[in-house]
Structure formats: C-alpha cells, structure tokens
Amino acid sequence: MDYRPRDIEKKWQKYWEQEEVYKVSNDSDRPKFYVLDMFPYPSGAGLHVGHPLGYIASDIFARYKRLKGFNVLHPMGYDAFGLPAEQYAIQMGVHPAKSTSENIARYRSQLDNLGFSFDWSREVNTSNPAYYKWTQWIFLKLFEHWYDAEQQKARPISELLAHLEAKGTDALPAACSEQMDFSAADWQAKSAKAKDEVLMNYRLAYKKQTFVNWCEALGTVLANDEVKDGLSERGGHPVERRPMLQWSLRITAYAERLLNDLDELEWSDAMKKMQANWIGRSTGAQLFFDLDGHDEKIEIFTTRPDTIFGATFMVLAPEHDLVAQIKTPEQSAAIADYLDYVNTRSERDRMSDVKTVTGAFTGAHAINPFNGEKVPVWISEYVLKDYGTGAIMAVPADDERDRRFAEKFDLPIIDIIDKSAHPGATIEDKVGTMINSDFLNGMEVKEAISATIAAMQEKGIGREKVNYKLRDAIYSRQRYWGEPFPVIYDKEGIAHPLKEEDLPLELPELDDFKPASGGQSPLARKTDWVERADGFFHETDTMPGFAGSSWYFLRYMDANNSDAFVSKQAVDYWRDVDLYVGGTEHAVGHLMYARVWHKLLYDLGYLPTNEPFRKLINQGMIQGVIEYICLLKEKTDGKNHFICADFAEKRPESEYARLPVYVDYVSDYGTEKSHLSAEGIRQFIEWRPEYKDAIFEGCGGTYRDGKLESEGSPEDFRFYTISEVGKMSKRYFNVINPDDVVERYGSDCFRLYEMFLGPIEQAKPWDTKGIDGVSRFLRKFWSLFFNDKGEFFCSEEPATKAELKILHKTIKKVCDDIERFSFNTCVSAFMTATNELLKLKCNKKEILEPLVTLIAPFAPYMSEDLWHKLGHANSVHLDTYPELIEEHLKEDAFTYPIAINGKTRSKMDFPADLSKEELEKQALALEGIQKWLEGKTVRKVIVVPKRMINIVVG
C-alpha cells in the first residue's frame, strides 16, 4: 500500500476533532507545561510558508512534552483588532468585522491543514466583546493605579488621594509625567478639573498633551515602536511629531523592573539586549541652571556632570516649553525662522541627515551654577524634546556634537580634560585628568563625576539621577477598529471610568469607518453614540493594536470565563508561559507591553508570577528568492545591451514550484518600477559592477505572456535573470502558500521539511528543491511497515542487538535534540534510522512501534495511521514516549582514529574496554602506522578512550 498523505490526513484530522484529542483540562495531576505561539493578526493575504515555521516547532515541542507526561497548554487565537486588519478592510471596501471574520476562517483552515495540536476550545479573538471586556477592565486598572517608586509597585489612586489630601506632594514617591510641588492646602483648594489634571500626572494610564508620532496617511498617532526610520511600520508612511491630547501608558514607571527582571529570563542575549537598549538606562545628574532675567530655570540631564566648567552654552530642543518665553525681541525673527525650518523637516529628514549643524540663538543667557558665568542659550534639532529633559549643557571640548555646534556658530571652547595620559582615547571615553575646572582640577574623570554630584547636592542645585530612553507608550488611536475606551467625560472634560458591570463597552456599528483627517476619530462622527443619555460623553479614540495582545496569554488559561479575565485557580495552575515562540519583530513592542501588563496584574495580586514568558525562542524568517529579469541582446559591437522591463505584472499566474519573477532595477526600496532612468542604471551598475561596460537601452515595449509584442521579436533576446534572497512578499511575486505544498506532499512532509531546512532561529530561503528528499524519506519510513506485496506487516520476532541499538540511538538523539530545539537534526536522525533499518530489512514490531511514537510529534498524521494499523484503538498522541534503555547503546568495539602528530593516518577497531596501555601498544604495532614511524622517535602517545589515539613523533 502506497503512502497517500491526502487520504490519511483528512481521516485523522476528523478523528482528532471528534475525539477531542487535544482538549486540555485545567484539572490534572500531571505537571503543567505551557507552549505558546505569538498569535497572528489575520491579514487578507493568508499564511505563507514562513508563518508556520514557529508554529511547527512549538507544536512538535508541545506534542513531545505531552508524550513525556505533561499536561500541555497549547492554544491559538487571533490578534484581530488593529491597523493591519482595518487597512485591509478599507482596501477591500468591506467592514472590518466582516473581513476579519473571513480572514480568520481562512487562517483556521490553513492552520488545520498543518496538523497542529491546538486546543481550539480556548480560542481567543481580541475583537470579540467577551474578550475585550477584559482588555477594557485591565485598562481601568491602569487608570485607577499609580506607581510607587519606593515600594516598586502599583498602588490604588485612592491611596494617592489620601496622601495628597494629607501631605500634598511632600514625600510622594510617585512616578509622574512632571515633577509637581504643592501642599495639602493647595490640593484641597484645587477645582475638580485641576485635581483631575494632577491625577493624570500620576495615573498609569493617563491623558495628556504630548508630542506624538502623527501619521497623516493612516490618520492616527503611533507608538514609538510602531515607527521605523521615521516611517510607519505598517505601510511605510511618513510620520511627523505633533503635540496632541492623547492617552498614554506610564510604562516608564516599570523601566527599572523591566530591565532587572531580564536577568531571570531564558531569552537570547540579542533579545535581552534589544530590550535593554530600548529601555536605555543611563546614570548621571539632573541639575538646574538659572536664567538671567527670568524666574524659570533650565533643567538638564547629563551623564558627565564633571564637565560643567567646560559648559560654554546651553541648547534646548526646538519644541522646548521655555523657548517662547525666553527668546529676546531681537532674536524672535531668527527663532521663528528656525522653527519654520524645523517644521518643514519630517522625522525621516531629521534622521537621514544628522551631520548638518543647524540652530538659532534665543538671546537669553543661563548662569552656570558653579562659576556664575553667563552662557548663551541656543535651540537646535540635535537636542531631542523627549530624551532627558529636552535641554543640555553643551561642553564642546568633550562632546563631538557640541564641538561641531560651537565651531559652526563660533562659540567658545574650554578644554577641561587632559587625556594625554591616555593615548588613543576618544572624546567619548570617560578617562583623563580634569583641568580648568576649579575644585575638580587634578581629579580623574570618575572621581570628578562623584565629586560634582556631591557638590551639586550640597548646593541644592541638582542631584544624581537615572534617566531612561524608554518613553511612555501612546495609547490612543484615531481609528475605528479597536477597543473603545471604557471612559466617559463630564461637561468639564473630567474623565470617569465606566463601572465594571457596564463592561464591555461595545464598539458601535459604523457604516463609514474610514479614518478622518486632522486627528479626529471616526467614532466622533457617531454623535448619537458620543453623547450619552446621562449627559456624559464617550471617548472617541480607540485602543492600539497592542492592547489585546498584551494579556492574551493569560486568557488562554481560562478562555471562557465570564466572571474574571482569568480565574485564580487557572492562573495558579498554569502560572506562566514555559515556552514562547515568535519572531524578533516583537522584541520591543509586544514583549515590552505584555511584561508591563503582567507586572501590573502581579502587583495587584491577580497573578502569582512576575514575568509572563520564561523561555523565548525566535524563529528565523523564511525568505523568498527575489528574481530580477533582464532581456539581454548582443549587438554587433560585442557589448551586452540590456533591456529591462516590468515583466512581473504581465506574466501569467505563477505555477507552483517555479520561481516567480520580479523585474526591476535595484533600488533601495525595491518598490519603484523604474524603467531605464539614469538613476536606475547607476544603481544597477553599483549593484553588479561586472556590467559596467554594458549598454542599456530604453524599453517602451509591451510584454504579454512573456513575449515582447511591440518591439523586436523574442528571438532577438536572451533572458538574463539575477536573483537575491529577501523577504517573502506579494510585492516580489515570491509568496508560497503552504496549502499548495500540503496539497502536493502532505502536511507531515511540509512540517518535516520546514524543520529540516536548518536551525529554527536562523533566517533561510525557501527552496522547493529539497522537499523531495523529505518526501522520499516519509515513503521509505512507511515502507518499513509493509511487505513486498504491499500488505501491512510487522513481525513479532524479537529484535536483534543491532536493531535495538538503532532504535535507542535514535531515541536518545531525538530526545536530546528536541530539548535543545534542534529540530533539523532530529529529522536527520529519523532518516538515518530509516536507512539503517531498511538495510537490515527490519520489520519487527518491537522496533517499529516505538519509532512511530518517536516520530509522532513531527509527523502526526502518518504516525496516527500506522499506530492504528498496529492495532491500537487510542491516539498515538496520547501514548507515552518510548523509554531509552542505555544498555542497548553499549558498544563492544570502537573504531579508533590513529593520528601521527594530529593527522589521522589510520583507523582500527579495538574492544571498547581495552586499557590505555594496551591500546597504545597495539596501535604502535600496526603495519599502517609503522611506516610513519620509520626513522622517527616516538615522543609521546596520547590515548583518549573511545575518542582517538595520537602519536607524537619528532
């Protein structure tokens, strides 16, 4: 009987569903194990072969753990709210609810096609009111808590109120947006509106006027991690900085814990580093400069307080609050011009050009608190509004940027550090001896830093401070497809939380859900919803995409609970995610937010664990081959003439297993369909210098079905293709749908092949050629169970020593390799075992039956079929893992490599238990070795039992 994957896979898929083989109970004596995949957002494109890579790996691990006796939670769901889903809906001109549910259905069928062992009874959908009720509920917890930096935990707003009522801001250790200072009497005298504003300064979810990333094309603001290189991560649209009244999450309050707790996680160093860099902790000093003729002070942050005597000017960010107040009339025009210039520059301009030095003088002067010197206050783009305090003391002698600025605007430079004792030290290195620095003179830099901080504290002009690069997360989106905020406003504009029993606040139906321009949310158009019967108003912004994904891993533990986001019993049993598998693209976004939400819920006593994801594995991207095509024509002048055309658009749908073709010149962005522009040619030659002598001709011809119609005949040309490895994307015509592969080879083969491709964490291109090898292997494996006539046949005969050795060797190898997530070598081990057993013509049940269980996590369908053919009535996936018996691994003999001076010259079998002395004696006596020893002295013989023998001669 031939192996027919399509028939058996359909059959067992049904069986698993009917028998609820993968259903997990929260009530079990077995130890728990939680294997989680990053859930997908159901985009319209469906899954391509890259998506399942991580799912397959985690599924293998989950199945393995199950066979090893664990109660395994392995769920799946959909991140259905958010920008990608909504953008797709807009493009297709359908309601996002409709397109989302269609896309989910499509994803589900694609996932089912791959034989995953998900417990679908726990499915989560972030756009489902029963789910987002709890997203809103957690948001209210954020709203109703503040962060006590002393106790390092979140505390209820009621306790903050009590503190303010009694002591004002005195000794208030609260994380806040800006330092506030008032007495209890001041507090009591405040209006309701003013009190609300004060509380917003402390709430973990707060509304505030801030500079945000506004994306006009998407019609919404974006969080920092949603902006890459000054463009929106989704869609690549330009982003600008703009002040707006927005909801934010005070994730900065958790910065220290987010950083410290990384230590206990089993994440890759790269991943931990990325988080640590994003948090960006640096220690230094906060200090105040008085302003000449103003009451205000300039607050700055510096990591180099020791350089204060070299501070010859100050620089504020152009958006700094003080700029308007301190600019002198004479400088007003210059400042206005500069601000105009800054406004014309997008984030992208600003980032791509950091060399050009620009700035303007405010006319104001600050006073150096240490020596009373007046120094000019400038504004410049190079000082960022949202790092530190948005203001710096500039020390041109010891900072590259300050130096460039001073040189350009002819500002004084005072040398303050003598680095002559440190040849090769750069300007950034914190070494050298202080000079021209009053009481610091003669000190080493390190010493000077602490001396300056001590002096500052004594004078009351500053203090030691830790600064973080991490910024609070913008939490409002001016979009339709997201969770509505469970917040209503009264006539004064004071925000009130909805009552828990009024949750969920459902997203109202909206016919026109397209984003509005100018920062308005589509929900604002539904005035009958915005204005409530009780006179309050709904918030019209919605929550961002990361809201729902920040806690979904908890919901799976108790997915259908309508009384709590998760029950105490469920979370006490499942605790945290033991293995989380997903892409590195979520390094700083999702993973950071999820950790914060988890820590908040932990602080509030809802969770027993401090961190959500113990171990993290990042699967590498599966790439596609991007092919560029050129038509090559040789002319009589002996040079190559290229004609390049936009071929991809006109070619018929690609046939499976043929490389798709994308025709373009190389450009940084890949998208332009540049024909023969001078720039295109220049880039092409830069990319492929070997063609620098070629002649390029313009191409106005049209192509249909690969044939040139209007210019010349196809015979005149040769196709010339060049390819590179890159993203798998519709844009490059190189997307491969797993369904097509499964249709042809079967799902087991697809799973095995994706694993066989290489190490899970590595990026690798999809190459269809290799899959035949895996397919061949599955057929060989299958054939072990059948006799010459094609009948299922397994012998009851006892296995030989050699056969048992093959089996147990494989058990050991596969076990070890799964534990270290080396799935590619597992597949090799199965292949080796199969080849060896075929050679021995082994068809013994004693060997083959455990092998079926062993391969079950990898090839769930085939193993299930063989398992039932072997006479079992239950599922192989509920079996127990075959036990390793070390006894069978014992070798009687070992083939020793015998090396002369480290070069292997001969090999010889010796009994495994032969003594070192005897091994040495016999090795030296070997004929094949003797000839190497002639005329030489044996100086030393190294014998490592069961490894090798090395003879050192001289």
Binding residues among 699-758 for RNA as defined by CB under 7 A:
744, 756-758
Q: Check binding of 774 to RNA (CB under 7 A).
A: yes
Q: How far is the CB of 668 from RNA (least distance, A)?
A: 11
| Nearest to 476, CA basis, from 247, 284, 147, 652 | 247
Q: Which of residues 636-675 bind RNA (CB under 7 A)?
A: 657
Phi-psi region of 806 (alpha: psi -120 to 50; beta: other; left: phi over 0): alpha
Q: Looking at 253-261, 347-355, 455-463, 631-639, which segment touches RNA (CB under 7 A)?
A: 347-355
- Interface residue with RNA among 780, 805, 809, 868 (CB under 7 A) is 780
Q: Check binding of 384 to RNA (CB under 7 A).
A: yes
- Counting Cβ atoms within 10 Å, is residue 547 exposed (0-12), middle (13-18) or buried (19+)? buried
If you count DSSP H runs as helices and E runs as strands, how many of each does the chain have, helices first? Answer: 30, 37
- Interface residue with RNA among 255, 543, 557, 588 (CB under 7 A) is 588
868 φ/ψ angles, rounded to the nearest 5 degrees: -70, -35
Q: Check binding of 893 to RNA (CB under 7 A).
A: no
449 φ/ψ angles, rounded to the nearest 5 degrees: -60, -50
Measured N-to-C along each axis, helices 129-143 and 590-603 cross at an angle, to the nearest 10 degrees, of 70
- Interface residue with RNA among 213, 542, 619, 822 (CB under 7 A) is 822
- Interface residue with RNA among 92, 105, 162, 270 (CB under 7 A) is 270
Q: Check binding of 260 to RNA (CB under 7 A).
A: no
| Nearest to 527, CA basis, from 510, 502, 542 | 510
656 vs 719 by CB, closer to RNA: 656
Q: Are 88 and 43 in contact (CB under 8 A)?
A: yes
Write out the two tokens for 791: 């009948």
Q: Check binding of 137 to RNA (CB under 7 A).
A: no
Residue 276: CB partners within 8 Å, gap ≥ 6? 259, 262
Q: Are 199 and 144 in contact (CB under 8 A)?
A: no
Q: How far is the CB of 330 from RNA (least distance, A)?
A: 25
Parallel, antiparallel, or unpaired for β 577-582 and 613-618?
parallel
- Interface residue with RNA among 277, 325, 702, 915 (CB under 7 A) is 277
Q: Check binding of 408 to RNA (CB under 7 A).
A: no
Q: Check binding of 23 to RNA (CB under 7 A).
A: no
776 vs 921 by CB, closer to RNA: 776
- Interface residue with RNA among 269, 295, 693, 887 (CB under 7 A) is 269
Pattern of binders to RNA over 440-469, x per CB under 7 A?
---------------------------x-x
Q: Determine the 3-state secondary structure of 281 from DSSP.
A: strand
Q: Looking at 350-358, 454-462, 593-601, 876-884, which segment touches RNA (CB under 7 A)?
A: 350-358
Q: How far is the CB of 830 from RNA (least distance, A)?
A: 8
- Interface residue with RNA among 28, 762, 874, 880 (CB under 7 A) is 762
- Interface residue with RNA among 13, 101, 282, 654 (CB under 7 A) is 282
Side chain identity at residue 175, one-letter code? A
Q: How far is the CB of 171 from RNA (least distance, A)?
A: 28
- Alpha-carbon distance 797 to 840, whole Å? 14
Q: How far is the CB of 844 from RNA (least distance, A)?
A: 20
Q: Check binding of 820 to RNA (CB under 7 A).
A: yes
614 φ/ψ angles, rounded to the nearest 5 degrees: -60, -60
Q: How far is the CB of 80 from RNA (least distance, A)?
A: 25
Q: How far is the CB of 770 from RNA (least distance, A)?
A: 4
Q: How far is the CB of 896 from RNA (least distance, A)?
A: 8
- Interface residue with RNA among 144, 817, 846, 920 (CB under 7 A) is 817
Q: Check binding of 56 to RNA (CB under 7 A).
A: no
Q: Check binding of 524 to RNA (CB under 7 A).
A: no
Q: Check binding of 274 to RNA (CB under 7 A).
A: yes
Q: Which of residues 902-931 bind RNA (CB under 7 A)?
A: 902-904, 907
Residue 70: CB partners within 8 Å, gap ≥ 6? 30, 31, 32, 33
Q: How far is the CB of 212 from RNA (least distance, A)?
A: 15
Q: Which of residues 528-587 bind RNA (CB under 7 A)?
A: 584, 587
333 vs 657 by CB, closer to RNA: 657
632 vs 908 by CB, closer to RNA: 908
| Nearest to 335, CA basis, from 303, 376, 386 | 376
- Interface residue with RNA among 6, 764, 809, 872 (CB under 7 A) is 764
Q: How far is the CB of 689 from RNA (least distance, A)?
A: 12
Q: How far is the CB of 876 from RNA (least distance, A)?
A: 23
Q: How far is the CB of 390 from RNA (least distance, A)?
A: 5
44 vs 758 by CB, closer to RNA: 758
Residue 480: CB partners within 8 Å, gap ≥ 6? 86, 96, 507, 510, 513, 514, 515, 521, 522, 523, 542
| Number of residues lying near RNA (CB under 7 A) | 85
- Interface residue with RNA among 95, 897, 920, 924 (CB under 7 A) is 897
Q: Check binding of 769 to RNA (CB under 7 A).
A: yes
- Alpha-carbon distance 126 to 85, whole Å? 12
Q: Check binding of 392 to RNA (CB under 7 A).
A: yes
45 vs 227 by CB, closer to RNA: 227
What Rg value do the Cα atoms of the chain yield, rounded? 34
Q: Check binding of 803 to RNA (CB under 7 A).
A: no
Q: Check binding of 399 to RNA (CB under 7 A).
A: yes
Q: Check binding of 28 to RNA (CB under 7 A).
A: no
Q: Are 275 and 591 in contact (CB under 8 A)?
A: yes
- Interface residue with RNA among 767, 869, 884, 933 (CB under 7 A) is 767
Sheet holding 893-900, edge to edge: 903-911, 893-900, 948-953, 938-944
Prior bond of 504 cis (ω within 30°): yes
Question: Could you count the other beta carbons within 10 Å of the beta carbon of residue 912?
Answer: 12
User: Does an H or E element contain 806, and which?
Assistant: helix 801-819
Q: The dihedral of CA 769, 772, 774, 775: what is its sign?
A: positive
Q: Check binding of 613 to RNA (CB under 7 A).
A: no
| Nearest to 574, CA basis, from 561, 590, 558 | 558
Write out the two tokens for 569: 């019993």
- Alpha-carbon distance 917 to 907, whole Å? 18
Q: Which of residues 220-249 bind RNA (CB under 7 A)?
A: 228-229
578 φ/ψ angles, rounded to the nearest 5 degrees: -80, -35
368 vs 828 by CB, closer to RNA: 828
- Interface residue with RNA among 388, 484, 522, 857 (CB under 7 A) is 388
Q: Looking at 23-31, 33-41, 384-392, 866-874, which segment touches RNA (CB under 7 A)?
A: 384-392
Q: Check binding of 302 to RNA (CB under 7 A).
A: yes
Q: The dihedral of CA 168, 170, 171, 173: what is its sign?
A: positive
HSE of 809, CA atoms in CB hemisphere, 13 A: 18
85 vs 317 by CB, closer to RNA: 317
How long is the chain? 954
Q: How far is the CB of 757 from RNA (least distance, A)?
A: 5
- Alpha-carbon distance 927 to 187, whole Å? 99
Q: Check binding of 383 to RNA (CB under 7 A).
A: yes
Q: Check binding of 273 to RNA (CB under 7 A).
A: yes
Q: Looking at 290-298, 382-390, 688-696, 883-891, which segment touches RNA (CB under 7 A)?
A: 382-390
Q: Check binding of 835 to RNA (CB under 7 A).
A: yes
- Alpha-carbon distance 303 to 465, whole Å? 9
